[in-house]
């Protein structure tokens, strides 16, 4: 069966969904025994590592179906096979509320820069302003999510929210399996969900052979933005959310 699952995360949530998909495909026998590290070694679309300098699209052409691709790119930047999928291609878009996203991405960026000896990110207040102005690595958060949100009625796409996954992880696993046309019994779904709790994910990521994954797991909470935002920053962010998201039909839980 030709099956490609592309994850289009908005800065955070990639590794969580990737782990669910990997375990779902392995459990169902759609792919052989593999780890999410194995998949990312080949399928992290816009990334390049020193141990493999060939472009990812070249590597992926050599891989047997089903192939799993991970990317942070926006709708206008991905190949047409992802932005306008055909046939049995499956695209999973995972989103996290923007307040927790900026806090998580800030801590992740600081840790990555410390790992490879780069200059630290600017102080939080300045980083907050940069994020709100849409000048971060992958562009404006709101334009990014709204770009993908245009595809919400396309059956090739599944949209997941980080906050919903936190509320009911077994249901998220069940939803992913159904979307990938994989039949799993309740025991398998519960096993995968348990393996993908934050505590277990932290163990997987902390011991990853891919260096930037080792600094991904921090708290895994909804509402952690409250530990960083000032009252003024909350007001500014709320206004930005209203301006950008009002009327789009896209809503987030912030706590």
127-151: pLDDT as tens digits: 999 999 999 888 999 999 999 999 9
Q: Characterize 190-203 residue by residue with b for buried, 16 or more Cβ atoms within 10 angstroms of its Cβ, and e for exposed.
A: ebbbebbeeeebee
Q: Is the pLDDT assigned to residue 166 strictly greater than 90?
A: yes
With cut-offs at 50, 70 and 90, classify the pLDDT of residue 81. confident
Q: Is the pLDDT assigned to residue 82 strictly greater than 60?
A: yes
What residues are labeled active site?
72
Four-residue CA torsion sign, 134, 137, 141, 147: positive
| Sheet order of strands, 4-7 included | 67-70, 4-7, 89-95, 157-161
Answering whether pTM is above 0.85, one says yes
- The 3-class secondary structure across the chain, one letter per residue, is CCCEEEECCECECHHHHHHHHHHHHHHHCCCCCCCHHHHHHHHECCCCECCECCCHHHHHHCCCCCEEEECCCCCCCCCHHHHCCCCCEEEEEEECCHHHHHHHHHHHHHHHHHHCCCCCCCCHHHHHHHHHCCCCCCCCHHHHHHHHHCCCCCCCEEEEEHHHHHHCHHHHHHHHHHHCCCCCCHHHHHHHHHHCCHHHHHHHHHCCCCHHHHHCCCCCCCCHHHHCCCHHHHHHHHHHHHHHHCCCCCCCCCC
Q: Which residues contact 251 (CB under 8 A, 6 or more apart)?
A: 245
Least confident of 48-57, 59-68, 124-133, 197-206: 48-57
Instruction: Give the pLDDT confidence score for residue 211 in this predicted structure.
Output: 81
Portion of the chain with pLDDT greater than 70, in percent: 93
């Amino acid at each position: 069966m030709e099956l490609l699952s592309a994850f289009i995360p908005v800065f955070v949530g990639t590794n969580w969904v990737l782990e669910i998909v990997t375990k779902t495909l392995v459990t169902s026998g759609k792919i052989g025994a593999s780890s999410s590290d194995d998949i990312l070694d080949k399928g992290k679309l816009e990334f390049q590592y020193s141990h493999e300098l060939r472009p990812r699209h070249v590597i992926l052409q050599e891989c047997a179906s089903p192939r799993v691709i991970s990317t942070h790119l926006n709708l206008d930047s991905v190949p047409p096979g992802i932005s306008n999928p055909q046939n049995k291609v499956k695209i999973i878009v995972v989103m996290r509320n923007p307040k927790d996203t900026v806090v998580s991405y800030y801590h992740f960026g600081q840790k990555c820069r410390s790992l490879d000896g780069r200059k630290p990110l600017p102080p939080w207040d300045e980083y907050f302003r940069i994020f709100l102005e849409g000048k971060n690595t992958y562009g404006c958060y709101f334009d990014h999510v709204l770009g993908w949100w245009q595809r919400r009625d396309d059956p090739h796409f599944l949209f997941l929210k980080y906050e919903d996954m936190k509320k009911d992880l077994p249901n998220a696993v069940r939803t992913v399996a159904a979307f990938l046309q994989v039949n799993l019994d309740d025991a398998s779904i519960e096993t995968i969900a348990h393996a993908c709790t934050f505590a277990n994910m932290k163990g997987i990521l902390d011991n990853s052979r891919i260096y930037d994954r080792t600094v991904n797991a921090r708290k895994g909470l909804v509402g952690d933005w409250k530990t960083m935002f000032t009252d003024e920053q909350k007001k500014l962010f709320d206004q930005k959310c209203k301006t950008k998201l009002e009327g789009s039909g896209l809503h987030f839980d912030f706590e």
